[in-house]
A and B are shown apart, each in its own frame.
Chain A
C-alpha cells in the first residue's frame, strides 16, 4: 500500500516580478517501510516537497495523499492535528525546546496528544534508550552535542507512533561520526519497527545508506532508483 501519493504536484512562489517554480508537476509514490532519500542540488525543491508532504505548506496545483487522506481537504486546524498524530518531523538543527530536558522534549508530542504522564514518560525513556540517549534523559539541549540533539529529535519524532518520519537535512550540521551514528539509529528503527523515513540530503554518506534515492532537479524527479 502506498503511504504517500503525490499527484501532479506543483508549488509556485510568486515574487514581485517573477514566479519561482519550486515543485513542477511532480508525481510520486512512497510505500510503507521505505528508507528514501531525496537528493539534489540546493534549490531543487527537496525542502518544499517535504513541507508539502508534511502539510506545512499547500500546493499551488495537484494533491498530496497521505494514508488515504487528501491533505487539501483539511483546514489549518485539522492539518495541525494531522501532523501531530500522523507525521514525525526531524529538522536540520535547533529543533528542540531549550528549556525542556531530553526526556521532556521526547514526551512533548505525546503530551500534546493528551497521553498520561506515566505512559508518555515510559515511552519517552524507551525511545531515548533506542537512540542511545537514555543516560542523558535529564540533560537540556544546551548540554548536548549537535549529534545528541538530533538523536533526541528522532526519538521525539517517533513518540507519536507516526505513519512516517520526514527529515529535512538531518545530518547537515553533524560531523561524520555523529552522522554515522544517527543513520544507524534511523536504519535500525526502519528495520526493527518498520518506520518509514523520507529525508532530504546532499550528503553522499547518507545517500549510500538509503534504499531508495530520488534525484530532484528544478522541482521535478530526474531519477528514481526504485520507483513504486
Chain B
C-alpha cells in the first residue's frame, strides 16, 4: 500500500496545473458549501430565536380544548394557581399567564381582525422581548389614562393610520357567547418579529379584560421560558406529570412548521452540499479519465512487469481520493474562518430589510458555525471521490498491456 500511496501522491505532481485546478475547485466548493450552510443555518436560527423570544416562548400550558380550537371557552379556571405551580418547577425561568381573545377592532378609518392578548406587563416582559421592541409609547405601564391602553403592532398602526392616543373599539364574544365591546386607546406600538404578527396581535392589561368577561384568575395560555432550552423536551415530560390534566407543549409542538423547519434544516443543507460535491465529482472523474488516457503506455508497462489489476485499481482510487481530498482541509478551514468572523460581525442585508421582516428575519444575518457538519462533509468528499474513481479505475484495469505499450 505504501508503494501505491507513494506513486499516487507523486502522480499528482505530473500535471501541476491540472491538479491545482482540481485542488482549488474542491477547496472553493467546500468553502462555499460550508459558508452557505452556516448562512442558511444562521437565518433559520435567527428566525427561530426571533419567534421564541418575540411571541412563541419555550413552551405553553393550555386546556386541551384550547390546543384543538383556541376556543375562548377552553380556559384554565385556576390559571394563576397553575402558573404558580409551574413557576416552582426547576428549570423554569419565567412564566406569563395570558388571556387570549379573537376580536374585531374598529377605528374611524376601518376595521381589522385582531387577536387580543391580555397580559400582566411584568410577567410578559420576563418571558418575551416585547418591551425592547416598543417603538412608540409604553408597554402597558402608563397608569394615567382616560381609556384602557392597548399596544398594537407597527404594521397595524401604519395600515389603519393609528397613532398614540387614538381610540379603537374591539368587539368580541366571551366564553358564554355574550358579545362585548370595549373602548381602548393606543398606548404603544411595537416592532414584532414579523409583519404578520404586527398586523394581527395586540396587547392589553389582563385584569381589566378579565373583569369584562368575568374570568378573574382564569387564563387561556400560560407561556414559559426555561433556563436550559436544550433540555426542553425532557423537562416538558416531567412538567406534564405535575400539571395534569393540562396540556404542556414545547414550542416545536405549538408551532410544528417552525419546529419542522429547524429539524429538516440540517438534512436539507447536507443535501445541498451533496449536490455541490456531486457536480465536482464529475469534474474529478473527467480529470482522472484524462490522466488514465495520458498514461496508458506507462500503465500497460506496469501491468506487463507485474502490477496486478487489484493494485492498479487501488492506484487510481487512491490517486483520485488524494486529488480531491487535499482541497478538503483548506475548504473546511476557509469555511470555518469565514463563519467564525461573520458570526461575530454579522452580514447586513439592509437593502432587503422589508422583505426579510415579512419572514420574521432580521436584516443583519449572523451565520452559524456548526462543526458537526465538518465530518459528514469530509465523509461525503471521500465517498464521492471513491465513486468518481470507479469508472477511471475500471478503464485502467481493462487496458491491454500490449496495446497500451504501443501508444507513445
Q: Does B329 contact A (CB under 8 A)?
A: no
Q: Does A51 contact B (CB under 8 A)?
A: yes
7 contacts between A and B (CB under 8 A): A56-B304, A76-B309, A89-B305, A97-B298, A100-B7, A108-B3, A108-B305
B306 touching A80, Cβ below 8 Å? yes
B301 touching A109, Cβ below 8 Å? no
B3 touching A83, Cβ below 8 Å? no
* B-side contacts of A112, CB under 8 Å: 3, 305-307, 311
Q: B389-408 interface mask toward A, CB cutoff 8 Å, 1 = contact, 0 = none?
A: 00000000000011001001
Contact for B7 among A89, A97, A156, A160, CB less than 8 A: A97
Which of these binds chain A: B10-18, B77-85, B208-216? B10-18
* A-side contacts of B204, CB under 8 Å: none
* B-side contacts of A109, CB under 8 Å: 305-306
A91 touching B13, Cβ below 8 Å? no
* B-side contacts of A99, CB under 8 Å: 7, 10-11, 13-14
- 11 additional A-B residue pairs with CB within 8 Å, beyond A95-B301, A99-B7, A108-B3: A51-B402, A56-B304, A81-B306, A84-B306, A85-B306, A91-B304, A94-B297, A94-B301, A109-B305, A112-B307, A113-B306
Cα A111 to Cα B13 in complex, Å, equals 22
Cα A81 to Cα B310 in complex, Å, equals 12
The 6 closest A-B CB pairs, nearest first, are A84-B306, A99-B10, A80-B308, A111-B3, A95-B301, A83-B306
Q: Does A77 contact B (CB under 8 A)?
A: yes
Q: A90-119 interface mask toward B, CB cutoff 8 Å, 1 = contact, 0 = none?
A: 010111011110000000110111000000
The interface size of chain B toward A, counting residues with CB under 8 Å, comes to 22
Cα A121 to Cα B309 in complex, Å, equals 25
CB proximity to A under 8 Å, residues B292-307:
297-298, 301-307
- The residues of A with any CB-CB pair to B shorter than 8 Å are 51, 54, 56-57, 76-77, 80-81, 83-85, 89, 91, 93-95, 97-100, 108-109, 111-113, 156, 160
Contact for B402 among A56, A84, A95, A100, CB less than 8 A: A56
Interface-centre pick from A95, A98, A156 (highest chain B CB count, 10 A): A95
Cα A68 to Cα B306 in complex, Å, equals 20
Closest to A83 in B: B306
A54 touching B308, Cβ below 8 Å? no
Tell me how far the C-beta of A58 lies from the nearest C-beta in chain B, rounded to whole angstroms: 11
* B-side contacts of A84, CB under 8 Å: 305-306, 308
Interface-centre pick from B298, B304, B309 (highest chain A CB count, 10 A): B304
Closest to B12 in A: A99
Interface-centre pick from A76, A100, A112 (highest chain B CB count, 10 A): A112
Cα A215 to Cα B309 in complex, Å, equals 36
Tell me how far the C-beta of B294 lies from the nearest C-beta in chain A, rounded to whole angstroms: 11
Closest to B302 in A: A97
Contact for A57 among B11, B303, B306, B402, CB less than 8 A: B402
Cα A14 to Cα B11 in complex, Å, equals 37
* A-side contacts of B405, CB under 8 Å: 91
Tell me how far the C-beta of B361 lies from the nearest C-beta in chain A, rounded to whole angstroms: 53
Cα A80 to Cα B304 in complex, Å, equals 7
